[in-house]
Amino acid sequence: MQRERLRIGLFGYGCVGQGLHDIINSSGFDAEIVKICVKHGDKPRRLPARAFTLNRYDILDDSEINLVVELTNDAREAFNIVSGAMERGKMVVTAGKAMVANNLAALTDMQSRYGVPLLYEASACASIPVIRNLEEYYDNELLNSVEGIFNGSTNYILSKMESSGAGYHDVLREAMDNGFAESDPTLDVTGLDSKQKLCIITAHAYGLFPRPDDIFHTGIENITEHDIRYAREKGLRIRLVAHVSKCAADTITAFVMPRFVQSSDKLYHVKDEYNGVIAEGAFADRQFFYGKGAGGHATGCAVLSDISACSYGYRYEYKKRARGRVKKITNDHLTEIYLRYNLEEERRLFGFKEITEYFCGTGFRYVKGVVNLQTLYQNREAIRESGVFMVKI
Ligand SMILES: NC(=O)c1ccc[n+]([C@@H]2O[C@H](COP(=O)([O-])OP(=O)(O)OC[C@H]3O[C@@H](n4cnc5c(N)ncnc54)[C@H](OP(=O)(O)O)[C@@H]3O)[C@@H](O)[C@H]2O)c1
């Protein structure tokens, strides 16, 4: 197939932008980065000043540039940049999970309207090629579930708490100092970052575009040594797992929660900043993808793969969305959880239907039992404010 010569306008020269630049330079990939648009003019850069601009229209209005690569850290601006590029007939590659997850329907419409591809492999699990696999290999109705560890920072924190016995806040501080967590880690530790990726994965696994607000999520920000010890005594580990599965031919359910995993589970062995994704099919059984879920070079590889795919005319066809077999997402789903809490009113937020274990210790209690995800979703704000910690069993 004839490859289109690429002239790239790059937005963002931070962790991923510089990683991509290194990879293009060292791989000999045949593409030219014509201009780089950044936000601040006064930052020291590795390249001469003439490589940069602060004016987005130097890229958007340059008719010689046929591909825009969007690697900024501002989801709202990213949407304006991406839509501006598509309106002008430019192909687009982005790593912006928040931007993609919150605008999937509009972005899909623009791809059809302007006849240009938008690829975003790096937006979900960075270096792991999950989107294109869901789109092409799993192009059938036989996918029972997709789940996994989609966030490297939280996995690093959980792994270090397990191995060192240190408390959450000490490990979080160390993760921030070592660059494994953002200076504002809220999106990661609350599970919101995993949920944005889950929305994108759901779109390609099932053809449904859920809004992040439709999905229940809870994170690891309230975990303590008690919870880690409880898991260890039972031979388990705690991992923050994002999950989507079919519960009927036309219905799926999805959530992000910490989960107890056994040593027979592939996710048990995913440590530190790594990610892991398990796709379970009706006949193919379980398939496991493992790799780096963050980092400039790892993420840059996924971006380069999309750039290369653009040059051959590849685009997502959203075939499952067109077929429309999956019609709705539900929270009406029973699940068993472990809950550590202090006050009875906190426990009541969960509406336990059945209790299988109860323990009262000094300064905390825990209970295990069955709850409906719908109740958790309805009470999500109060649950978030309560300071309890829950784990799916
Ligand atoms: N880091 C990862 O491991 C990773 C993994 C997967 C996906 N992602 C996604 O990749 C994207 C980039 O992440 P990052 O870690 O590379 O971010 P980063 O290190 O914070 O860099 C952000 C870059 O965007 C530039 N920028 C911000 N607003 C801009 C605007 N309005 N116009 C032009 N440039 C603008 C900044 O300019 P200045 O340099 O002037 O400040 C900076 O160069 C994000 O969407 C992130 O979610 C990151």
- pLDDT (tens digit, 9 = 90+) per residue, 43-96? 999 999 999 999 999 999 999 999 999 999 999 999 999 999 999 999 999 999
Judged against a pLDDT cut of 70, whether residue 156 lies above it is answered with yes
pLDDT at 178: 78
Which protein residues are within 6 Å of ligand 1, measured from CB? 11-17, 37-40, 43, 71-74, 77, 95-97, 122, 126, 294-295, 299
> Are 213 and 343 part of one and the same domain?
yes
pLDDT at 362: 80
Q: Is residue 122 part of a domain?
A: yes
pLDDT at 2: 66
Q: Is residue 343 part of a domain?
A: yes
> Are 252 and 302 part of one and the same domain?
no
Per-residue pLDDT of 182-216, as tens digits, reads 778 999 999 999 999 999 999 999 999 999 999 99
> Are 13 and 91 part of one and the same domain?
yes
What is the arithmetic mean of pLDDT over 104-114? Answer: 98
> Are 172 and 256 part of one and the same domain?
yes
Per-residue pLDDT of 272-308, as tens digits, reads 999 999 999 988 899 999 999 888 999 999 999 999 9
Judged against a pLDDT cut of 80, whether residue 3 lies above it is answered with no
pLDDT at 1: 62
> Are 246 and 305 part of one and the same domain?
no
Task: Map the chain to HEC letters.
Answer: CCCCCEEEEEECCCHHHHHHHHHHHHHCCCEEEEEEECCCCCCCCCCCHHHEECCCHHHHCCCCCCEEEECCCCHHHHHHHHHHHHHCCCEEEECCHHHHHHCHHHHHHHHHHHCCCEECHHHCCCCCCCHHHHHHHCCCCCEEEEEEECCHHHHHHHHHHHHHCCCHHHHHHHHHHCCCCCCCCHHHHCCHHHHHHHHHHHHHHHCCCCCHHHCEECCCCCCCHHHHHHHHHCCCEEEEEEEEEEEECCEEEEEEEEEEECCCCHHHHCCCCEEEEEEEECCCEEEEEEEECCCHHHHHHHHHHHHHHHHCCCCCCCHHHHHCCCCEECCCCEEEEEEEECCHHHHHCCCCCEEEEEEEECCEEEEEEEEEHHHHHHCHHHHHHHCCEEEEC
Domain count, the chain: 2
Determine the distance separating the centroid of ligand 1 and the alpha carbon of 348, expressed in angstroms: 42
Which CATH number fits the domain that encloses residue 259?
3.30.360.10
pLDDT at 289: 97
Q: Is residue 291 part of a domain?
A: no
Judged against a pLDDT cut of 80, whether residue 99 lies above it is answered with yes
Q: Is residue 77 part of a domain?
A: yes
> Are 318 and 334 part of one and the same domain?
no
What is the arithmetic mean of pLDDT over 209-224? Answer: 97
Which CATH number fits the domain that encloses residue 59?
3.40.50.720
Q: Is residue 1 part of a domain?
A: no
> Are 271 and 214 part of one and the same domain?
yes
> Are 196 and 278 part of one and the same domain?
yes
The residue with tokens 């590029």 is 85
> Are 354 and 213 part of one and the same domain?
yes
Judged against a pLDDT cut of 70, whether residue 368 lies above it is answered with yes
> Are 235 and 266 part of one and the same domain?
yes
What is the arithmetic mean of pLDDT over 13-23? Answer: 96
Q: Is residue 72 part of a domain?
A: yes
Q: Name the residue at shortest CA distance from atom 47 of ligand 1.
A: 96
Judged against a pLDDT cut of 90, whether residue 142 lies above it is answered with no
Residue 179: which domain range? 138-285+326-392
> Are 168 and 189 part of one and the same domain?
yes
Determine the distance separating the centroid of ligand 1 and the alpha carbon of 71, expressed in angstroms: 5
Residue to mutate (ligand 1; options 38, 46, 76, 184; most atoms within 8 A of CB):
38
Mean pLDDT of the chain: 95
Determine the distance separating the centroid of ligand 1 and the alpha carbon of 389, expressed in angstroms: 32
pLDDT at 182: 76
